[in-house]
Amino acid sequence: MTTPLPSRQAARRSVVALLLAFAGSLLAGPAQSAEAAPAPGIRASYANPVREADGHVDAQATVDRLRAMNADTYAFLVNKSTDWGDLEQEFLPAAQASGLAVWVYLVPPTECPGGTSCAEYLPYKKDYVAWGQAIARLSVRYPVLKAWAMDDFNANTSTFTKDYTARMRTAARAIQPGLDFYPVVYANAVTQSFVDTYATSIDSLILPFRDDPYRDTLWTGSLRPQLDQIVARLATKSRKAILMVYASTLSRTTITPDVEYVRTATAVGLEYTKAGKLDGVIQYALPLTAGRAQSGDERVGHTGNSALVFTVHPDNATTVGDYAAASTTIRLDAGSTSCRMVVWHTDDRPATSPLGYHAKQAIVGGAQVWERDVASEGSDWYTSSPIDLTPRLSGGSATLTLRLYEKKAVTNYSVTARMDDISLTGCHVTNPGFEADGGWTYSRKGGDVLAGRHTYDPVYSTSVHAAVGALYGG
């Protein structure tokens, strides 16, 4: 059973499918193999395809963009009512012709169209055994279809019990023995108990990174420790993870991922893949249509497109003394005997907000030299008064730290604060306008206060495509 396409398009799509399937049969042999050995591991992207004006997936344009990004795998999300037909009639023939590996990516009951009954999730609704069997039959027809994945698996274990998951995988493999099954499981749910329970019913595990338990796409410092822990747990059952990097806006986060965030997390994932610790990397919803800004993003800098940003997310609890900070070295100019600094700063708290909780601060040589409460002004950009740093640079240099500091604990008092254009007289720092990467290091005490450099990119989809392509091609 398949969902029929609109009649005005059925003939055109049928012809295209036949032509692409024929092309795939010509290209499926040795002519596909490259002279150079391929880079190890999966290099994938998920969802966010190029779409036609009528909402259908533009199969060839999507495949072309994936290939230009050096991706070898695409996870095709089946969610819209037209997706299954687009997958079967256009995308798989196009992928087969190009040699692009495909996974079918399904949604669980908590995300189904039509609610948890999955009444509108067509064609197989809540019967995930039937979904697996249908995917397996497609895999027989199109051998580039290698796997199927289930989103938010760990939030749906009441449906996907150990026994039911085994039934799903077994039923699919009875039709296509090599078809893999990949659950999507967040880091805090990949316990040893989970691994012990499900290892025999899965092949690899898709691991989204979002700085659990804090849920953000700004901080990457916890990625390696999380990978090390999860890699070790999976290794006890001879299983591996595929790292999912958020290349598109993650719900209920304060700051959207920018190009540098995606580049940093992807590079770590590829490093672990090369070392044999991961099975590969997949981008979460990297936008494949060129020339678009990041969804939900906005220009953040006082000047330019970049700024230092600090956040406390709604409903996140902090404790007194928590902070997030950015640090660099401040040095006297040659021949200078004095140093003055002005900081441009802003935040999103109105002046009617409670005082005494979140403070923007500057620390030089271990001493606080400036502070401003987030509720002391409006939401425009302001400058500090000139700050004389000369006494703190007696040796010609000192550490400059800009931070957001918790003076009182909060449970639901969010803020987004920014600093930019550090103006210095008689002294200097690297990257005072935050327009380039580097020059600053980031730290935090208490993970609910975050800091990082963020860049707004009006053509984010083009830039992130190029950045990932360079890494995937390396």
Q: DSSP letters of 192-250?
A: HHHHHHHGGG-SEEEEE-S-TTS--SS--TTHHHHHHHHHHHHHTTT-EEEEEEE-SPP
Whether 330 maps to a domain, the answer reads yes
Cα–Cα separations (whole angstroms), residue 243 to 146, 152, 197, 312, 359: 18, 14, 21, 26, 35
CA-to-CA distance for 455 and 376, rounded, in angstroms?
26
Q: Say whether both 322 and 281 belong to one domain.
A: no
Q: Say whether both 424 and 290 belong to one domain.
A: no
Q: Say whether both 202 and 322 belong to one domain.
A: no
Q: Say whether both 317 and 380 belong to one domain.
A: yes
- What 3-state DSSP class applies to 50? coil
E strands, 230-388, are: 240-246, 280-284, 306-312, 323-332, 340-347, 358-364, 367-373, 382-383, 387-388
Q: Is the pLDDT of residue 15 over 80?
A: no
Whether 418 maps to a domain, the answer reads yes
Q: Say whether both 226 and 328 belong to one domain.
A: no
Q: Is 178 left (phi over 0), alpha (psi -120 to 50) or beta?
A: alpha
CATH code of 352's domain: 2.60.120
Q: Which residues on adjacent β-strands are paired with residue 404?
A: 324, 360
pLDDT of residue 410: 97
Q: How many structural domains comprise the chain?
A: 2
Q: Say whether both 97 and 121 belong to one domain.
A: yes
Whether 98 maps to a domain, the answer reads yes
Q: Is the pLDDT of residue 35 over 70?
A: no
pLDDT of residue 474: 86
Q: Is the four-CA dihedral 220, 226, 230, 231 of positive or negative sign?
A: positive
CA-to-CA distance for 76 and 244, rounded, in angstroms?
14
Q: Is the pLDDT of residue 33 over 90?
A: no
State phi, psi for 181 to the nearest 5 degrees.
Answer: -125, 130
Whether 301 maps to a domain, the answer reads no
Task: Give the pLDDT band (50/70/90) at residue 456.
Answer: very high
pLDDT digits (tens, 9 = 90+) for 95-146: 999 999 999 999 999 999 999 999 999 999 999 999 999 999 999 999 999 9
Is residue 98 within 8 Å of residue 105, measured between CB atoms? no
Q: Say whether both 286 and 411 belong to one domain.
A: no
**Nearest to 210, CA basis, from 185, 180, 241:** 185
Residue 96: CB atoms within 10 Å: 23
Whether 300 maps to a domain, the answer reads no
What pTM was computed for the model? 0.91
CA angle, corner 283, sides to 278 and 286, nearest 5?
170
Q: Is the pLDDT of residue 27 over 50?
A: no
Task: Give the pLDDT band (50/70/90) at residue 392.
Answer: very high
Whether 1 maps to a domain, the answer reads no
Q: Say whether both 68 and 163 belong to one domain.
A: yes
Q: Is the pLDDT of residue 22 over 70?
A: no
Q: Say whether both 139 and 272 belong to one domain.
A: yes
What counts of helices (H) and strands (E) characterise the chain?
A: 10, 20
Q: Say whether both 201 and 154 belong to one domain.
A: yes
Whether 2 maps to a domain, the answer reads no
Task: Give the pLDDT band (50/70/90) at residue 313.
Answer: very high
pLDDT digits (tens, 9 = 90+) for 151-200: 999 999 999 999 999 999 999 999 999 999 999 999 999 999 999 999 99
Q: Say whether both 111 and 189 belong to one domain.
A: yes
Q: What is the mean pLDDT of the chain?
A: 93
Which contiguous run of DSSP H or E holds residue 174? helix 162-175
Q: How far apart are the first and last CA of the chain?
A: 42
Q: Which residues on adjacent β-strands are paired with residue 387?
A: 341
Q: What is the mean pLDDT of residues 331-355?
A: 97
CATH code of 202's domain: 3.20.20.80
CA-to-CA distance for 449 and 63, rounded, in angstroms?
40
What is the extent of the structural domain holding 397? 306-455
Q: Say whether both 329 and 248 belong to one domain.
A: no
